[in-house]
Amino acid sequence: QVQLKETGPGLVQPTQTLSITCTVSGFSLTSYYMQWVRQTPGKGLEWMGFIRSGGSTEYNSEFKSRLSISRDTSKNQVFLKMNSLKTEDTGVYYCARGSSTTRVYDYWGQGVMVTVSS
């Protein structure tokens, strides 16, 4: 069955870089978009960006200058890297599978809580 699981550091210091891995099973990354969505107390649910089935990316301009999404199809993994973290980046980070036809996120990972604090 379709499964997604995020793994990440939990605690990151301000100005540092956040790295999260989403490991998927039950489907191929070359057939679906993979999105990153975060949920913060200040802004609720925010779409951060996605990587298409073909490997190209799109980013929310809110994060564009400091966000990178990549993947390793051989390992069934998608990666989020965001630098220059601020306390406002504290929240839960989700990866989600998206369809290129319906453009809907049909499966979500459980999320990983990230706290930005010194």
Partner 1 sequence: DIVLTQSPALAVSLGQRATISCKTNQNVDYYGNSYMHWYQQKPGQQPKLLIYLASNLASGIPARFSGRGSGTDFTLTIDPVEADDTATYYCQQSRNLPNTFGAGTKLELK
By the rule CB under 8 A, 88 interacts with partner 1? no
Whole-number minimum distance, CB 13 to partner 1, in Å? 26
User: From CA 24, how far away is CA 8, in angstroms rounded?
Assistant: 15
Measured from the CB atom, the residue of 20 and 109 that comes closer to partner 1 is 109
Measured from the CB atom, the residue of 18 and 96 that comes closer to partner 1 is 96
Measured from the CB atom, the residue of 61 and 118 that comes closer to partner 1 is 61
Going from the C-alpha of 8 to that of each of 1, 41, 49, 54, 83, the distances in angstroms are 23, 19, 18, 25, 14
